[in-house]
């Protein structure tokens, strides 16, 4: 267990350092794109600068979340600060939604009133932006399983794609003089931001509401527990996610009358089955004698047994 925590701590510190570097690079890129967008009269560059500007609070939130997640549990925060990374991903997704609607509105106005664009600025800054966002994406790709880091990764991957689109659009405008391509690119970037936000917002809200992990099924977990002899029935199964890849389970298990040592061995076998099949390593199992008392009332979820 200590080795696992040590490995996680080293990985967290590695990505924390990369997030700090990413913040510095993003601030420099935003400044260059704002100045270049104003000089080139390019709504695509300005909207991309606004898009990248939202990366700054995104990166700050993610960096703080990565730092806080390293903190040990306390008497008040008995699970530690693992959930902070999920809260950060949810907050980042809300910010991205606002940005997407802003970019779409600005692009619509520019489509109605196209303006000439200095494509030299777009080409030069497009290359710089592609290098920065591509570098950030590559630096964080190994942490993609963490929801917090994935929100940053998806955001910057979208940035890199939009930079590539700006480069292509600048070349086309330079050769054809069709300047409505610029706001069309801005609208495309806005839609890309909107699309990339949906999955992160859905998953982070599901975790914050302590929903059942999407990759698992309640029936499969019940069957796995029932397959351990001499379990007779299992009910009140609850599984939720604390943070990425860290799941918690509680349930009631009905068994014959066993001695204390035999019951403890049974608990260990159930935990081993849950860990091997579902990667659930934190459980709370309440054992009960076989047979429901008359006053037991309704169980939520309903009792699950192998005869069903």
pLDDT, one tens digit per residue, over 24-34 is 777 888 888 78
pLDDT for 297: 46
Work out the number of other CB atoms within 10 angstroms of the CB of residue 57: 13
Give per-residue pLDDT as tens, 243-294: 777 899 999 999 988 888 999 999 999 999 999 999 999 999 999 887 655 4
200 near 223, Cβ under 8 Å? no
pLDDT for 71: 77
Question: Where is average pLDDT lowest: 49-53, 125-129, 150-154?
Answer: 150-154
Nearest to 155 by CA among 132, 180, 173, 137: 137
Please say if the pLDDT value at position 159 is more than 90: no
- The answer, as to whether pTM is greater than 0.75, is no
233-243 and 280-289 as β-strands: parallel, antiparallel, unpaired? unpaired
Which range is most confident: 38-47, 129-138, 248-257?
248-257
Structural domains in the chain, CATH included, are 2-208 (1.20.1510.10), 218-289 (3.30.70.1350)
| CA–CA dist 8, 70 (Å, integer) | 9
pLDDT for 276: 93
pLDDT for 174: 85
pLDDT for 119: 80
């Amino acid at each position: 267990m200590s080795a696992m925590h040590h490995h996680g701590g080293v990985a967290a510190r590695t990505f924390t350092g990369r997030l700090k570097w990413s913040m510095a690079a993003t601030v420099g890129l935003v400044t260059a794109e704002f100045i270049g967008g104003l000089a080139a009269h390019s709504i695509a560059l300005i909207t991309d600068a606004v898009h990248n500007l939202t990366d700054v609070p995104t990166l700050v939130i993610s960096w703080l979340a990565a730092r806080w997640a390293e903190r040990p549990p306390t008497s008040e925060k008995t699970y530690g600060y693992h959930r902070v990374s999920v809260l950060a991903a949810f907050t980042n997704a809300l910010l991205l939604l606002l940005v997407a609607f802003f970019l779409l509105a600005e692009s619509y106005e520019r489509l109605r009133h196209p303006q000439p664009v200095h494509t030299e600025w777009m080409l030069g800054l497009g290359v710089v932006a592609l290098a920065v966002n591509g570098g950030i994406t590559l630096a964080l790709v190994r942490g993609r399983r963490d929801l917090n880091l994935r929100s940053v990764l998806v955001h910057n991957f979208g940035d890199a794609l939009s930079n590539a689109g700006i480069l292509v659009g600048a070349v086309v405008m330079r050769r054809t003089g069709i300047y409505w391509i610029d706001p069309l690119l801005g609208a495309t970037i806005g839609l890309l931001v909107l699309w990339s936000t949906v999955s992160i917002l859905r998953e982070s809200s599901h975790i914050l509401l302590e929903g059942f992990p999407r990759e698992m099924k309640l029936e499969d977990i019940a069957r796995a527990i029932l397959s351990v002899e001499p379990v007779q029935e299992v009910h009140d199964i609850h599984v939720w996610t604390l943070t990425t890849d860290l799941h918690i389970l509680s349930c009631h298990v009905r068994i014959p009358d066993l001695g204390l040592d035999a019951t403890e061995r049974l608990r260990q076998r159930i935990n081993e089955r849950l860990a091997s099949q579902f990667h659930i390593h934190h459980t709370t199992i309440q054992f009960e004698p076989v047979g429901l008392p008359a006053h037991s009332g309704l169980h939520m979820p309903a009792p699950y047994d192998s005869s069903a």
